[in-house]
Amino acid sequence: MRRLTIATAALLVGCGPSGSDARSPQRMGLGREVPAHEVALVNRDVGPDGVELPPGRGTVAEGATVYAAKCASCHGAKGEGMAPFPRLVGRPAEAEGFKFGASETSLDRTIGNYWPYATTVFDYVRRAMPQLTPGTLTDPEVYALTAFLLASNEVIPMDAALDAESLRAVKMPYQDRFVPDNRRGGREVK
């Protein structure tokens, strides 16, 4: 069903006016042309293949220093979390093996035991952290923090450094546990 919709939609977009709202002319001529250098100011997202990762490099040790200065006040000295600020670090035995769905008790979803992509750590820290001063970390600081958080979660060695190439190569422990939504409506409860 979804596949069919994509195909139909692509066809509509390709045909111009008939693909748009029937009341619109082919183009309204609205909007301001934006030059590439202006787009680059806000186009800072990093996807799972890491092709958008910027230059820079940071070590686990450097990340520990940045973490202590800028993150520990909310997330705890060891990333253990302080409600409402989430736990970031830890591979407790009761959650290992992705036990979240079956567990009667609420298990902390840490970077190490849940997050499927390492690039997400970089993207999120760079865009939204620290919460009171978001967007202020330099790219080397973000690489260092990402390295520190991944090492603390036993994903990379404690003596590691990260740059674009090495971050792209990191595979998270439970990436293969994420599956497409199989709910489709109809009689069956999923």
Residues 160-189 that bind another protein (CB under 8 A): 177-187, 189
Q: Both tokens of residue 153? A: 């979660």
C-alpha distances (whole Å) from 161 to each of 45, 46, 84, 132, 157 are: 21, 19, 30, 27, 9
Question: Of residues 38-67, which lie at the interface with another protein (CB under 8 A)?
Answer: 39, 42-43, 45-49
Three-class DSSP category at 167: helix
**Size of residue set near another protein by CB under 8 A:** 71
Dihedral of the alpha carbons of 165, 166, 167, 170, in degrees to the nearest 10: 130
Phi, psi of 103 (to 5 degrees): -80, 130
Q: Which is nearer to another protein, 48 or 76 (CB)?
A: 48
Q: Residue 11 Cβ, how far from another protein at the closest point, in Å? A: 8
Dihedral of the alpha carbons of 56, 61, 64, 69, in degrees to the nearest 10: -70
Q: Residue 59 Cβ, how far from another protein at the closest point, in Å? A: 23
**What is the rounded CA–CA span in Å between residue 2 and residue 84?**
37
Examine residue 70 and tell whether it contacts another protein (CB under 8 A).
no
Q: Residue 14 Cβ, how far from another protein at the closest point, in Å? A: 5
Q: Note whether 148 and 66 are within 8 A (CB).
A: yes
Q: Which is nearer to another protein, 107 or 170 (CB)?
A: 107
Q: Return the residue of 54, 57, 72, 98 that touches another protein, per CB under 8 A.
A: 98
Examine residue 122 and tell whether it contacts another protein (CB under 8 A).
no
Q: Return the residue of 108, 127, 139, 145 that touches another protein, per CB under 8 A.
A: 127
Q: Return the residue of 67, 115, 143, 148 that touches another protein, per CB under 8 A.
A: 115
Examine residue 119 and tell whether it contacts another protein (CB under 8 A).
yes
